[in-house]
């Protein structure tokens, strides 16, 4: 157990959770305003920011989607979802709801965007909001190019000089489905928006413990000297889930685990674990260092793919003692689907620091437990002076950065077991966030919305990173699609297990501790 002393804050007051900087009046337009993401994630996050006085004042929050409805119906709908999720203070809701508006839009009709522009101008005049605008695309990715292009044509992407009248567009993954489509999307968005106006969300980056990786590595002197091929045997980056495909078969059948988890979340965790220290903790410098990691990724050795790539799909099994069906029996999934729901990749980073250190990236649905962690496995002691006295192996040190369920850092090492007999006992030193630091009330969506209002790109993908990540994953996807056509390499694992047989040994090792 470790105790915490008082915190040191960054220049813009990051320790004060909800007072991060200059929150300028703005309008947030949520395309897909009548949809699930808006109702379940975005509005609750905005409400949470509001009750902590962390939203700009004044602010307009405008839902925009195809359905025609009045402001009042829009608000009632959101209220219904909100009370299912959080405790709502009636007075605060009344104040918050005054900031909510609705405007129906036809996504592929230019006039509709001109009407939206007029509507926003009207709100600016009425409510004294400035012409700062965030356009959040809570819509299927097929609409990103359509909406992006129309916003540009309607003049809604134009910014003033020196940071006045900003216009920002927020998109969620997937950013394309391979390298070519990612470049095409980029071309269309960049026709209207500059890179600094585009915010590509990866919700893993907004997780507190994920952000902590850089603090642990670079705000301490004791870890960094060991953080390299001389001391580290291998690294595991694991995100397993109990959930199956749920109601998202349409999307998942096209995506599979490699597009759904690897191209984005696992690549970000890999970059944070492996990158060099940036000269300053500012978004551009951090992104530069991440990009160098992606650039140094050794293309996966496809000829030797059995050692580097394991793919699986869940079959029927038990989760929490309840029987669950296999992937192929999920509604919306084709009965002979070859979509992988599990993958383990062994990747190498071809640079001085990491030469020959394997990084095992693992993710799967319907596994035994939900867990996200980074395992740094140190090397064995080079010489054991205890070998004549002790018959047991000396377990090598291991540092675990736990992201879920426990937000923790734990270091395991050997101690002497008390008593006359010479024997070793492995122990762990744990730092658990929740035991010493009051739980942050900032969820991932609060973080990204706030950072977007502030124009801080730290928690978002930059386009060169997106493309490099696709450059690495696309050949793997192509290879998988070919070999899966031959049904060679897809291994079935029972729901509730630790994945396919072939990966068990490594998974068992990584899941320990
Ligand atoms: C999403 C994936 O990006 O991340 C989902 O599309 C996955 O399939 C989810 O379930 C996992 O996120 P978390 O935060 O629950 O680990």
pTM of the model: 0.91
Tell whether 158 and 212 lie within a shared domain.
no
Q: Scan for tokens 């394997």, then name that residue.
A: 358
Q: Scan for tokens 């090397």, then name that residue.
A: 379
The residue-averaged pLDDT of 37-46 equals 94
Burial of 342 (C-beta count, 10 Å sphere; 0-12/13-18/19+): buried
Is 3 contained in some domain?
A: no
Query: What span, in angstroms and rounded, lies between the C-alpha atoms of 159 and 180?
Result: 29
Which of 107-121, 212-226, 375-389 has the least mean pLDDT? 375-389
Is 180 contained in some domain?
A: no
The residue-averaged pLDDT of 245-255 equals 92
Tell whether 99 and 231 lie within a shared domain.
no
Is 323 contained in some domain?
A: yes
Higher pLDDT, 1 or 293: 293
Is 11 contained in some domain?
A: no
Domain count, the chain: 2
The residue-averaged pLDDT of 74-91 equals 94
Taking alpha carbons only, the member of 494, 102, 502, 146 closest to residue 311 is 502
Q: Which pLDDT belongs to residue 442?
A: 74
Summarised one tens digit per residue, pLDDT across range 267-304 is 999 999 999 999 999 999 999 999 999 999 999 887 77
Phi and psi, residue 65, nearest 5°: -160, 180
Is 187 contained in some domain?
A: no
Residues in the chain: 513
Tell whether 278 and 354 lie within a shared domain.
yes
Range of the domain at 348: 205-441+464-511
Higher pLDDT, 501 or 10: 501
Provide the mean pLDDT of the chain: 90
Per-residue pLDDT at 12 exceeds 50: no
Tell whether 168 and 215 lie within a shared domain.
no
Give the other-Cβ count within 10 Å of 315's Cβ.
18
Tell whether 149 and 215 lie within a shared domain.
no
Tell whether 214 and 164 lie within a shared domain.
no
Tell whether 348 and 494 lie within a shared domain.
yes
The pair of three-digit structure tokens given for residue 430, joined into one six-digit string: 């744990």
Interval between CA 172 and ligand 1 midpoint (Å): 12
Summarised one tens digit per residue, pLDDT across range 414-439 is 888 777 677 778 899 999 987 766 65
Is 7 contained in some domain?
A: no
Number of the ligand 1 atom closest to the C-alpha atom of 404: 16
Q: Which pLDDT belongs to residue 221?
A: 95
Q: Which pLDDT belongs to residue 383?
A: 81
The answer for residues whose C-beta is within 8 angstroms of residue 128's C-beta and 6 or more apart is: 25, 58
Tell whether 148 and 297 lie within a shared domain.
no
Query: What span, in angstroms and rounded, lies between the C-alpha atoms of 125 and 288?
Result: 40
* Range of 3-12, 260-269, 477-486 with top mean pLDDT: 260-269
Ligand 1 pocket member 371 (CB < 6 A): no
Which CATH number belongs to the domain containing residue 406 in this structure? Answer: 3.30.360.10
Tell whether 164 and 278 lie within a shared domain.
no
Ligand 1 pocket member 172 (CB < 6 A): no
Which CATH number belongs to the domain containing residue 34 in this structure? Answer: 3.40.50.720
Is 379 contained in some domain?
A: yes
Q: Which pLDDT belongs to residue 376?
A: 97
Tell whether 159 and 270 lie within a shared domain.
no
Is 183 contained in some domain?
A: no
Query: What span, in angstroms and rounded, lies between the C-alpha atoms of 436 and 432?
Result: 7
Number of the ligand 1 atom closest to the C-alpha atom of 241: 10
Summarised one tens digit per residue, pLDDT across range 312-332 is 999 999 999 999 999 999 999
Summarised one tens digit per residue, pLDDT across range 98-135 is 999 999 999 999 999 999 999 999 999 999 998 999 99
Number of the ligand 1 atom closest to the C-alpha atom of 252: 8
Ligand 1 pocket member 260 (CB < 6 A): yes
The half-sphere exposure of 369 on its side-chain side, counting CA atoms within 13 A, is 11
Residue in 37, 202, 238, 241 to alter for ligand 1 test, most ligand atoms within 8 A of Cβ: 241
Tell whether 331 and 428 lie within a shared domain.
yes
Tell whether 54 and 122 lie within a shared domain.
yes
Final residue of a structural domain among 129, 152, 172? 172
Interval between CA 265 and ligand 1 midpoint (Å): 9
Cβ atoms of 448 and 207 closer than 8 Å: no
Higher pLDDT, 410 or 8: 410
265 is catalytic: yes
Summarised one tens digit per residue, pLDDT across range 162-192 is 778 999 999 998 899 899 999 999 999 999 9
Angle at 309 between CA 304 and CA 315, to 5 degrees: 135
Higher pLDDT, 78 or 417: 78
Give the other-Cβ count within 10 Å of 349's Cβ.
26
Per-residue pLDDT at 392 exceeds 70: no
């Amino acid at each position: 157990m470790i105790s915490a002393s008082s915190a040191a804050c960054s220049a813009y007051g990051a320790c004060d959770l909800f007072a991060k900087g200059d929150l300028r009046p703005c309008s947030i337009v949520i395309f897909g305003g009548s949809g699930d993401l808006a109702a379940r994630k975005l509005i609750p996050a905005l409400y949470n920011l509001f009750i902590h006085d962390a939203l700009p004042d004044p602010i307009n929050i405008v839902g925009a989607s195809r359905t025609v409805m009045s402001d009042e119906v829009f608000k009632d709908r959101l209220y219904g979802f909100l009370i299912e999720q959080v405790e709502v203070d009636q007075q605060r809701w009344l104040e918050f709801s005054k900031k909510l508006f609705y405007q129906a839009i036809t996504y592929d009709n230019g006039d509709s965007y001109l009407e939206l522009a007029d509507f926003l101008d009207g709100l600016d005049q009425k409510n004294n909001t400035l012409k700062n605008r965030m356009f959040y695309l809570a819509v299927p990715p097929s609409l990103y190019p359509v909406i992006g292009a129309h916003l540009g044509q309607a003049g809604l992407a134009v910014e003033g000089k020196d940071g006045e009248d900003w216009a920002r567009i927020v998109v969620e993954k997937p950013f394309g489905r391979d390298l070519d489509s990612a470049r095409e999307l980029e071309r269309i968005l960049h026709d209207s928006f500059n890179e600094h106006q585009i915010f590509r969300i990866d919700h893993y980056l907004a997780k507190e413990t994920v952000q902590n990786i850089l603090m642990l590595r670079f705000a301490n002197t004791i870890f960094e000297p060991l953080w390299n091929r001389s001391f580290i045997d291998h690294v595991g980056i694991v995100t397993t889930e109990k959930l199956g495909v749920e109601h998202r078969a349409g999307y998942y059948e096209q995506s599979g685990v490699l597009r759904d988890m690897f191209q984005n979340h696992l690549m970000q965790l890999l970059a944070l674990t492996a990158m060099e220290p940036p000269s300053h903790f500012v978004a551009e410098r951090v992104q530069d260092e991440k990009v160098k990691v992606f650039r140094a990724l050794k293309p996966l050795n496809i000829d030797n793919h059995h050692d580097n790539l394991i793919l699986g799909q869940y079959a029927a099994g038990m989760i929490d003692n309840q029987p669950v069906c296999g992937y192929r029996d999920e509604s919306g999934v084709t009965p002979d689907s070859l979509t992988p729901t599990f993958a383990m990749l062994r990747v190498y980073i071809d640079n001085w620091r990491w030469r020959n250190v394997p990084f095992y990236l693992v993710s799967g649905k319907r596994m035994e437990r939900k867990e996200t962690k980074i395992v740094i496995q140190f090397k064995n002691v080079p010489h054991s002076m205890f070998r004549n006295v002790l018959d047991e192996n000396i377990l090598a040190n291991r540092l675990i950065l736990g992201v879920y369920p426990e937000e923790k850092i734990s270091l395991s090492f050997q101690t002497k077991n008390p008593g006359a007999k010479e024997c070793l006992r492995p122990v762990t030193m744990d730092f658990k966030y929740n035991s010493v630091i009051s739980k942050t009330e900032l969820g991932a969506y609060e973080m990204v919305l706030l950072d977007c209002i502030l124009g801080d790109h730290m928690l978002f993908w930059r386009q060169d990173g997106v493309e490099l990540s696709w450059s690495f994953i696309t050949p793997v996807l192509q290879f998988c699609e070919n070999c899966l056509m031959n049904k060679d390499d897809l291994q079935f694992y029972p729901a509730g297990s630790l994945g396919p047989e072939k990966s068990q040994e490594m998974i068992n090792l990584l899941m320990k501790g």
